[in-house]
Amino acid sequence: MKPILIHTHFHKRKTGVTRSIENVLPFFDDEFETYVYGSNIDGKHITTSKLKSFLFSDAKIVVHCHRNNEILKMLWYRILGAKFTLIATRHAETKPSSLTKFLLKKADKVVTLIKTMSANLGIPNTIVGHGIKVDEFIPNPKAKLKNVAQKNIILNAGRVRKAKGQIILLEAAKVLQDHKDWALVIVGKSDKPNFLEELKAIAKKHGFENQVHFIDETRDIIKYYQASKIVVAPSFSEGFSLVTAEAMACECSVIATKNVGVHSELITHNKNGYLFEAGNSEELQTLLKKSITAKIPHLGKQARQEILQNWSAKKEAEKLMKIYKN
């Protein structure tokens, strides 16, 4: 009988964490009976009763948790006598709370995603960066967005909140005034309606509100990457920044904040993308203007090559497999 691998997902929404789990699950099937426990995630689901039957059996079991509430649940089963290996991934770059640190110390192995996250954690951990489904996130030069009239698209995807830098992006995007065939498309869920109105007001102030399109959060994100020439990730903080890697896989020319999340590990400035200082709208504006006018090259092909070589879901799964087996 194969050992059993269970990924937990206790969250009301599908997020980047969800996608990162779904990306690697298929690669474990040869070595493990692989399941997901929770909701809002694709995979082979198990019920609570089935979970208990596994945990309190003699089977070899690995449970991989991604949030505090998931770790707490599994630790409760341990108190009741369940025996399994507990892996926990820390998805945030910030210094952990005392509760988070306490819970992570109870895991048999802790995984982090990037170097800064690893350093900030303060407990032993193994770095395993997220991987991309490179056979799904592929370029498609013929892709178009039905509700966007402009021919050329600059995309920003992810949560719409101040920490993600959309204010900086809107200030820099005033260069679109002189390029009417370009649009800025912002795809993501807004935490606060007032913030969305603030972004719209910036576009109106600079006179390019008809070139800015706000799209609600969607699982059908690939077509947006494929239809975009440039993707901007202006975040002040990130856990990993799956969006950046996905955009690179789709041959977008990516402009991202340096030393934020995995940006500076994914991108070598001027070689496979462009980096700028977080919060520097003038620097971003210059990069956008040069990109739009082709004064700097489109680096999409180089970007995809980086993902193929170093950031595929298969490579991530291979690294996780070593942890599970050990």
Tell me: do 205 and 263 sit in the same domain: yes
Please calculate the CA angle 123-124-130 and round it to the nearest 5 degrees. Answer: 105
The parent domain of residue 29 ranges over 4-131+312-325
Tell me: do 169 and 270 sit in the same domain: yes
Would residue 21 count as lying in a domain?
yes
CB 231 within 8 A of CB 155: yes
pLDDT for residue 176: 96
Tell me: do 210 and 306 sit in the same domain: yes
Would residue 228 count as lying in a domain?
yes
CB 87 within 8 A of CB 63: yes
**CA dihedral of residues 48, 46, 130, 298 (deg, nearest 10):** -130
**What is each CA distance from 241 to 41, 234, 287, 296, in whole angstroms?**
19, 11, 20, 24
Tell me: do 306 and 252 sit in the same domain: yes
Tell me: do 83 and 224 sit in the same domain: no
Tell me: do 191 and 295 sit in the same domain: yes
Would residue 140 count as lying in a domain?
no
Would residue 141 count as lying in a domain?
no
Would residue 142 count as lying in a domain?
no
Tell me: do 277 and 300 sit in the same domain: yes
pLDDT for residue 152: 97
DSSP per-residue letters across 269-310: BTTTBEEE-TT-HHHHHHHHHHHHTTSS---HHHHHHHHHHH
Q: Helices 300-310 and 242-249 meet at what angle, rounded to 10?
A: 110
Would residue 55 count as lying in a domain?
yes
Per-residue DSSP letter, 6: E
Tell me: do 221 and 316 sit in the same domain: no
Please report, in tens digits, the pLDDT of each residue of the chain (326 residues total): 899 999 999 999 888 899 999 999 999 999 999 999 999 999 999 999 999 999 999 999 999 999 999 999 999 999 999 999 999 999 988 889 999 999 999 999 999 999 889 998 989 999 999 999 999 999 999 999 998 999 999 999 999 999 999 999 999 999 999 999 999 999 999 988 899 999 999 999 999 999 999 999 998 999 999 999 999 999 998 889 899 999 999 999 999 999 999 999 999 999 999 999 999 999 999 999 999 999 999 999 999 999 999 999 999 999 999 999 98
Tell me: do 286 and 161 sit in the same domain: yes
Would residue 137 count as lying in a domain?
no
Buried b (16+ CB within 10 A) or exposed e, 217-233: beeebbebbbbbbbbbb
In 3D space, the residue among 194, 262, 185 whose CA is nearest the CA of residue 221 turns out to be 185
Tell me: do 124 and 49 sit in the same domain: yes
* Chain centroid to CA 296: 27
pTM, whole model, 2 decimals? 0.90
Tell me: do 168 and 232 sit in the same domain: yes
Please calculate the CA angle 28-31-35 and round it to the nearest 5 degrees. Answer: 50
CB 104 within 8 A of CB 96: yes
**Total domains present in the chain:** 2
Tell me: do 158 and 304 sit in the same domain: yes
CB 236 within 8 A of CB 230: no
Would residue 136 count as lying in a domain?
no
